[in-house]
Amino acid sequence: MSGWVYIVTNHPQGTLYVGVTSDLAKRAWEHREAGIDGFTARYALKQLVFAELHETIQAAIQREKNIKRWPRNWKIELIEKTNPGWEDLYDRLML
């Protein structure tokens, strides 16, 4: 089973949340609809700004753990490499 590492935010350069999932479309929808209690709902983290597919869920989990340990500016650089305008990628997902 493949896995996704993703980052959601509340606005460009805002609060960042790094997560992992096997179903990116479903998980992004849950963030948008505030269906997940806790940190992401509290800070209204609804904008999907980064997504990276991995062959296995285990590889995605390891990548997520690594990224979570990175300094904030590295995470911002990662986002801006593929999404310099901090556009919401949700509408680009095949739902």
What are the boundaries of each domain within the chain? 3-92
The structure's pTM equals 0.94
Instruction: Give exposure, 44-74, as e/b (b: 16+ Cβ within 10 Å).
Output: ebbbbbbbbebeeeeebeebbeebeeeeeee
Q: What is the pLDDT of residues 36-95, one digit of tens each?
A: 788 888 899 999 999 999 999 999 999 999 999 999 999 999 999 999 999 999 989 865
User: Can you tell me the mean pLDDT for 10-28?
Assistant: 96
According to CATH, the topology of domain 3-92 is GIY-YIG endonuclease (3.40.1440)
